[in-house]
Amino acid sequence: MPDQEKYNEADPMAGAGTEEEEMQSAIENRQFDLGTMEGETLVKGERLADHPEAPSADERVVPRSLWQDAWRDLRTNPIFIVSSLLIVFLVLVAIFPSMMTSTNPLNCDLSKSQLGPTGGHPFGFDTQGCDVYARTVYGARASITVGVCATVGAALVGTVLGGVAGFFGRWPDSVISRVADIFFGIPILLGGLVFLSVIKNKSIWIVVAFIVVLGWPQLARIGRGAVITAKEQDYVTAARALGASNNRLMLRHILPNAVAPIIVVATIALGTYIALEATLSYLGVGLRPPTVSWGIDISAASDSFSVAPHMLLFPAGALSITVLAFIMLGDAVRDALDPKLR
Amino acid sequence: MGSYVLRRLLQMIPVFIGSTFLIFVMVHALGDPVNALFGDRAPDPAVAAQIRAQYNLNDPLWKQYVLYMGRLFRWDFGTTFTGQTVTSQLAAAYPTTLKLTAVAFTIEVIFGIGLGLLSGLRRGRLADSSVLILTLVVISIPVFVTGYVLQYLVGVRWGVLPATVGFDVTLRSLILPGIVLASVSLAYVARLTRTTVAENSRADFVRTAVAKGLPRHRVVVNHLLRNSLIPVVTFLGTDLGALMGGALVTERIFNIHGVGYALYQGIVRQSTNTVVGFVTVLIIIFLLANLLVDLLYAVLDPRIRYA
Amino acid sequence: MSTSSTSAQPRAGRAGTGTGPLLEVRDLRVEFRTREGVAKAVNGVNYSVWAGETLAILGESGSGKSVSAQAVMGILDSPPGFVTDGQIVFKGRDLLTMGKEERRKVRGAQVAMIFQDALSALNPVHTVGAQLGEMFRVHHGTSRKEAREKAVELMQRVRIPAAKERVGDYPHQFSGGMRQRIMIAMALALQPDLIIADEPTTALDVTVQAQVMDLLAELQDEYHMGLILITHDLGVVADVADKIAVMYAGRIVETAPVHGLYAGPAHPYTEGLLQSIPRLDQKGLELYAIKGLPPNLLRIPPGCPFHPRCPRARTICREVDPPLFEVTDETGTPVPGRASACHFWKETLHGE
């Protein structure tokens, strides 16, 4: 964000920050994936003034908070409704897979290897003769668990560290930002290939921990940027001038305003983490059998794709829909929280 | 500008050391490379000891790292336990991956910016919604799924393009893998371009350009797109690193013997030098790409002054 | 600005294009179709500008003054903005029915615009020389080198020091006043017949404001251009304008030659505006402010749109939307160029 701050400055000199900020700005321009870039727009958008000739606001309408406004917007947004219903459904399936199928995904019959869909087995059988439908249903648990836990972990670590860096600046900022740089220096798939191949017996938690370790810098940067933006707002300066303590400033004034972009980016990141888990499993460094995972099944099915495409397409479809649902949710939340798009 | 480049290069050093040391530690945790070398047979203790001494395997890890980095600066990446130099492995694998990345990058730039511009100019219309939905779908489907489906449909079923690459790397054979590798980044580029174009299309300077009586194409190219590309270029620069990482997956699907393949083999065979060498080069490329983007940023945006 | 003109059609015949006014806006209507509903930003506006004449359009933000100018320029954000009715006759031809390409050639070359905030109105990534030269390159097909020379000339014309050295600088490297001079230079580049200046000095320091206004007036006189000056600042208007149109809620509520208006406003809104100017001779008195807020354009009040804020409002004001009445002096003779959209203009003008 600092470069955008520069744009907004009427006086170019005011934008020239310290050396530290300058470097940071250069780095910050860098972390773009869907989540990040949408988050950046969000932070920036809140500062844009209205068009001077736009119709004036109705004085009789009681001003609503950002969140109330966003909620009013979301309730009528079909994308939000569809994606959140889907997510509720997927979470239920993850918790109670037996609700959807009575077949045991590990109960396989080699004689049925690679058979196509038949009655009672709508998705057919995989190479091991396991029921693809049952495996697809049970696979939701691994994906959702990894996605949710990794996101919560990365968001917590990222928000705390990013918040500290943004709020205190100076050396805590330098240290945290440099450490984040180091983790950013490692492309995530590459890191996965090297780090995860070390650990032989992988539980879900190892994969979650890995994603948190390489994922937090992204959220820390969003948090840092949002906190810096919030810190510079006039009302925060006012509160500081009135003698509010650091804790109070942080919790009452800055956090509530910094949290919106983090939520948006985290929601979208959740989708990408699910895809990441599947990709790691596909590369053979993620989850391992007997854990039932879409990534493992897709990987196993890929060799026989031309012979028995159903083995790949059903878990791949489930995976894609899950990722899509979270990304759509994040998209809808961003639209609702971004006043500029109204 | 010169001093800025120098400072950025200096600042890259701790990041470089941090990242490579992390990788170094992890790779050495892979297991005992000497045991791996001998496979199932128990190694002859004398031979094993000799190899350990030769590769400084008895030293503490940090010392091994320092020694390794020292050799690296003399362009010596060491040898594998089978006697092949890592430099020759790099020379064999990198050109292929760079070609693949170049193809993917070209596709990403042309179609990403094109679709984003189209979408941003027609905000809210059918073309815009289609691009938005399409890019969301592309982002949601993991690359390996897109890869297998396209490989099967385009390569096998319709036979339009070669389905696998193998050793004979031709431009034509790289088109399909290039599309697959570019797909997700392309979707991001399109969305980012759309956002900035839509934002800038209401900017005062675009209005001024219209008020000056400039023809529409000049307004769009010279003022709207020129300004909107600044963040897109930044993304493209950093994405080069991501493309190389993504190449791991794409290369596996299309049987391309590039960096991903070599790295994968290195991990399976627990060849420390291979893994560390390849990863180190990747990190250097990644960091240099970032530096390049910084400089490009200064060129594209005169408001940013690098003192 | 030579003599004060008491006629709405001064110096007729001096216009280079024959007998008519340079620009005539007839019953212009513009609306914004937003999610909340249709905002009627301009509701039947009429005005005219003659060559060499300065028309000041006065109003608060949201009164439709800028929107009507954007409609003339053809740079309305569309969607959501649409011109729904009216004519914009420039040199005898209706701009609204003109072909796109034809209209583009009018923009910049014959009608130019000066924007309020030069920092955001100039493209940050091109040098000012390139942006000035672009006018010549596009409209006249001038070569790059020649365009640069002309850019330097223009910068000298608007008195930017060291123009030759600074032609390769970027907008952010100039001070606010210098940037606005560049905007003016850009508008002047092709010596247009009409310049629309949208709050040209609002973003500037008070000391610089006067310099920029003087420069603008001087250049206008020299090139004998028509000038539409959009502002909310009555102080700026008094020195420069020939006639004034006051806008409120998307319509013109009063028109008058400049001195007539200052001597005696014929609309309570204008009266309020004049009373809200701080005056040295009334030191110590509380400054008057028009109570209330401008109306929501989505729900313009029935009757006279000003009635909720008007100290003179009576029942008729809530029911009947007043047309523009011709204003007469005490003897009943019409005052040329004066009109007021108030049921009680007589009381307002002649006191009561």
Please list, in sequence order, all residues whose beta carbon lies within 8 angstroms of the beta carbon of residue C164, skipping any fewer than 6 positions away. Answer: C152
Residue owning tokens 């930002």: A177
Q: Which chains touch A (3 or more CB pairs under 8 A)?
A: B, C
> Which tokens is C142 given?
């001038």
Q: Rounded to whole angstroms, what are the CA distances from A277 to A12, A139, A287, B265, C126?
A: 45, 12, 8, 21, 45
Confidence of residue C350 (pLDDT cuts 50, 70, 90): confident
pLDDT tens-digit readout, A254-265: 777 778 788 888
Judged by a CB distance cut-off of 8 A, whether residue B29 touches chain A is yes
Question: For residue B17, what are the CA distances in angstroms to A59, A186, A258, B25, B247?
Answer: 59, 12, 33, 12, 24
Residue A277, pLDDT score: 87
pLDDT for C118 equals 85
**Is the minimum CB–CB distance between A39 and chain B shorter than 8 Å?**
no
- Scanning every residue of chain C, which has its alpha carbon at the shortest distance from the alpha carbon of B207? C75
C contact set with B (CB within 8 A): 73-75, 77, 79, 104-109, 112-113, 115, 117, 120-126, 134-135, 138-139, 170, 172, 186
Residue of A nearest to B275 (CA): A194
Give the pLDDT score at A338.
65
Within the 254-273 window of chain A, which residues sit less than 8 Å (CB to CB) from chain B?
A: 271
What is residue B177's three-state secondary structure?
Answer: helix
**Confidence band of A45 (pLDDT split at 50, 70, 90):** very low
Element (H, E) at C268: helix C268-275
String of DSSP letters for C283-304: TTSPPP---S-PPPTTSPPSSS
Q: How many domains does chain B have?
A: 1
Of chain A, the percentage scoring pLDDT greater than 90 comes to 4
**B234 closest CA partner among B179, B283, B163, B294:** B294
Rounded to a whole number, what is the distance in angstroms from the first to the last CA of chain B? 7
| Residue C284: Cβ within 10 Å count | 4
Domain membership of residue B155 (yes or no) is: yes
Taking each continuous run of H as one helix and of E as one strand, the counts in chain B are 13, 0
Q: Do A342 and C35 touch (CB under 8 A)?
A: yes
Q: Which of C73, C117, C120 sits opposite B211 (nearest CB)?
A: C73
Q: Are the beta carbons of B293 and B304 closer than 8 angstroms?
A: no
pLDDT at C308: 86
Check CB contact under 8 Å for B136 and A283. no
B71 burial level (CB within 10 Å; 0-12, 13-18, 19+): middle
Query: Cβ–Cβ contacts within 10 Å for residue B10, how many?
Result: 9
Chain-centroid distance of CA C16 in Å reads 21
When pLDDT is averaged across residues B149-162 and rounded to a whole number, the result is 82
Which residue from C minimizes the CA distance to A60? C296
pLDDT at C8: 41
Average pLDDT, stretch C300-317?
85
Cβ–Cβ gap A324/B136 under 8 Å: yes
CB spacing of A187 vs B241 below 8 angstroms: yes
| C107 DSSP assignment | B
Give the strand pairing for C243-248 and C334-340. Answer: unpaired
For residue range B67-80, what is the model confidence (pLDDT) as tens digits?
A: 888 887 777 777 77
Q: How far is B162 from chain A (nearest CA, A)?
A: 15
* Local confidence band at C57 (pLDDT 50, 70, 90 cut-offs): very high
Q: Is B235 helix (H, G, I), strand (E, B) or coil?
A: helix
Residue type present at position C188: L
CATH number where B202 lies = 1.10.3720.10
- The reported pLDDT for the residue numbered A24 is 39
Confidence band, pLDDT 50/70/90 cuts, at residue A20: very low
pLDDT, mean over chain C = 84
Q: Does A279 touch chain B (CB under 8 A)?
A: yes
What pLDDT does C113 receive? 92
Q: Is residue C14 over pLDDT 70?
A: no
Q: Subunits touching C (CB < 8 Å, at least 3 pairs)?
A: A, B
Q: Confirm or reject contact between A18 and chain B (CB < 8 A).
A: no
* Residue A316 CA neighbour count, 13 Å, CB half: 24
**Do B16 and A283 make contact, defined as CB atoms within 8 angstroms?**
no
A59 pLDDT exceeds 50?
A: no
Chain B residues with CB inside 8 Å of C104's CB?
213-215
How many angstroms separate the CA of residue B32 from the nearest CA in chain A?
11
**pLDDT above 80 (res B108):** yes
Distance between CA atoms of residues C67 and A53, nearest Å: 7
pLDDT at A208 over 70: yes
> Average of pLDDT values for A124-143?
81
Examine residue B47 and state whether it is found in any structural domain, yes or no.
no
- In this prediction, residue C280 carries a pLDDT of 66
Q: Nearest-CA neighbor of B145 among A288, A198, A305, A269?
A: A305
Lowest mean pLDDT among A139-143, C36-40, C111-115: C36-40
Residue B246 neighbours by CB under 8 Å, 6+ apart: A189, B143, B181, B184, B185
Residues of A within 8 A of B136 (CB-CB) are 324, 327-328, 331
CB-nearest to A56 from C62, C119, C172 is C62
A-facing residues of B in 150-189 (CB < 8 A) are 151-152, 156, 188
Binary contact (C119, A10; C-beta < 8 A): yes
pLDDT for C152: 92
Give start and end residues of each alpha helix (H) in chain A: 2-8, 12-15, 19-28, 34-45, 66-75, 78-95, 132-168, 170-184, 188-198, 204-231, 234-241, 246-248, 255-282, 294-302, 310-337
Query: Number of A:B CB contacts under 8 A?
Result: 159
pLDDT value at position A154?
92
SS3 C39: strand
- CA dist B209 and C314 (Å) reads 48
Average pLDDT over residues C332-352: 81
Note the pLDDT of residue A149: 93
Interface check for A76 against chain C (CB to CB < 8 A): the answer is no
| Higher-confidence position of B14 and B52 | B14
Measured between beta carbons, the chain C residues lying within 8 angstroms of B217 are none
Mutant choice from B199, B202, B208, B232 vs C, greatest count of C C-beta within 10 A: B208
State residue B302's pLDDT score: 79
Q: How far is A248 from chain C (nearest CA, A)?
A: 36
Candidate from A317-321, A335-339, B120-124, B193-197 with smallest mean pLDDT: A335-339
pLDDT of residue B40: 56
Using a CB–CB cutoff of 8 Å, tell me whether A342 touches chain C. yes
Instruction: Kindly state the DSSP code that residue C193 receives in the 8-state scheme.
Output: S
C339 forms beta bridges with C255, C326
> DSSP per residue over C208-254, as a string?
HHHHHHHHHHHHHHHHT-EEEEEES-HHHHHHH-SEEEEEETTEEEE
Q: Which of C39, C124, C173 lies nearest to residue A55, judging by beta carbons?
A: C39
Distance CA C268, CA C264 (A): 11
Q: Is the pLDDT of residue A334 over 90?
A: no
**CB neighbour list of residue B163: distance below 8 Å, 6 or more residues apart:** B151, B152, B154, B155, B156, B176, B254
Distance between alpha carbon C215 and the CA centroid of its chain, in Å?
17
Q: C113 contacts in B (CB within 8 Å)?
A: 208, 211
Strands (E), chain C: 23-34, 37-49, 54-58, 81-90, 93-94, 111-114, 194-198, 226-231, 243-248, 251-257, 325-328, 334-340
Is residue C327 over pLDDT 50?
Answer: yes
The residue extents of the domains of chain A are 2-50, 67-341
Cα separation of B169 and B254, whole Å?
A: 11
Q: Is A57–C39 a contact, with Cβ atoms under 8 angstroms apart? A: no
Cβ contact C253:C81 at 8 Å: no
The pLDDT, as a whole number, for residue A41 is 44
Q: Using the beta-carbon criterion (under 8 Å), do A59 and C124 form an inter-chain contact?
A: no
**pLDDT tens digits for range A150-181:** 999 999 999 889 888 888 878 888 888 888 88
ipTM value of the model? Answer: 0.83
Average pLDDT over residues B115-134: 87
pLDDT, mean over chain B: 82
Alpha carbons B191 and C168: distance in angstroms, whole number: 34
The region of weakest confidence among A72-86, C1-15, C74-88 is: C1-15
Q: Residue B239: which pLDDT band, with cuts at 50, 70 and 90?
A: confident
Q: Check pLDDT > 70 for residue C13.
A: no
In angstroms, the Cα distances linking A38 to A27, B252, B294, C201 are 17, 31, 21, 36
Of C77, C122, C125, which has the smallest distance from its Cβ to B208's Cβ?
C122
Distance from CA of B182 to the nearest CA of A (A): 14
Which pLDDT score is estimated for B247? 82
Closest CA to C251 of C134, C339, C166, C136: C339
Per-residue three-class SS string for B85-149: EHHHHHHHHHHHHHHHHHHHHHHHHHHHHHHHHHHHHCCCCHHHHHHHHHHHHHHHCCHHHHHHH
Please state, for a pLDDT cut of 70, what percent of chain C lies above it. Answer: 92
**What pLDDT is stored for residue A38 in this prediction?**
43
- Asked if B18 and A185 come within 8 Å (Cβ–Cβ), the reply is yes
Query: Average pLDDT for residues A69-82, to the nearest whole number?
Result: 82
3-state secondary structure of C94: strand
Please give, rounded to a whole number of angstroms, the shortest distance from the CA of C184 to a CA of chain B. 12
Q: Is the pLDDT of residue B110 over 90?
A: yes
Higher-confidence residue: C245 or B52? C245
Residues in chain B within 8 Å Cβ distance of C135: 212
Chain B, residues 241-300, CB within 8 A of chain C, namely: 300
Tell me the torsion sign for CA atoms A318, A321, A323, A326. Answer: negative
* Inter-chain CB proximity A32 and B188 less than 8 Å: yes
Q: Is A13 on the interface with C (CB under 8 A)?
A: no
Phi, psi dihedral angles at A27 (to 5 degrees): -70, -35
- Among all chains, which residue has been given the structure tokens 């939905």? B133
Residue among C237, C279, C272, C284 nearest C257 (CA): C237
- Cα separation, C230 vs C252, in Å, equals 13
Lowest-confidence pick of A303-307, B88-92, C38-42, C310-314: A303-307
Residue B96 has pLDDT above 90, yes or no: no
CB pair distance less than 8 Å for C121 and B204? yes
- Please tell me the least confidently modeled range out of A328-337, B127-136, C151-160: A328-337
> Residue A314 — very low, low, confident or very high, per pLDDT cuts 50/70/90?
confident
Hey, of C72, C126, C193, C202, which one would you mutate to test binding to chain B, going by the most B CBs within 10 A of its CB?
C126
Minimum-distance CB partner of C108 among B205, B212, B222: B212
CATH number of A67-341: 1.10.3720.10
For residue range C114-155, what is the model confidence (pLDDT) as tens digits?
A: 988 888 899 988 999 999 999 999 898 889 999 999 999 989
Q: Is A248 an 8 Å CB contact of chain C? A: no
- Please state the three-class secondary structure of A55-78 as a single string: CCCCCCCCCCCHHHHHHHHHHCCH
pLDDT on residue C10: 43
Length of chain A: 342
Among chain A residues, the shortest Cα distance to B269 is held by: A197
Q: State how far the alpha carbon of C293 is from the alpha carbons of C41, C63, C146, C220, C303, in Å.
A: 16, 11, 52, 35, 17
Band of residue B306 on the pLDDT scale cut at 50, 70, 90:
low
Mean pLDDT, residues C179-204: 88
Binning pLDDT at 50, 70 and 90, where does residue B37 land? low
Query: B201, B205, B216: which to substitute to probe chain C, counting the most C Cβ within 10 Å?
Result: B205
Domain C1-110+193-352, second-level architecture: 3-Layer(aba) Sandwich (3.40)
Whether residue A53 and residue C298 make contact (CB cut-off 8 A), yes or no, is no
Q: Which of B32-46, B74-88, B98-112 has the lowest mean pLDDT?
A: B32-46
Per-domain residue ranges for chain C? 1-110+193-352, 120-189
Q: Please state whether beta strands C334-340 and C325-328 pair in parallel, antiparallel, or not at all (unpaired).
A: antiparallel
Residue of A nearest to B19 (CA): A182
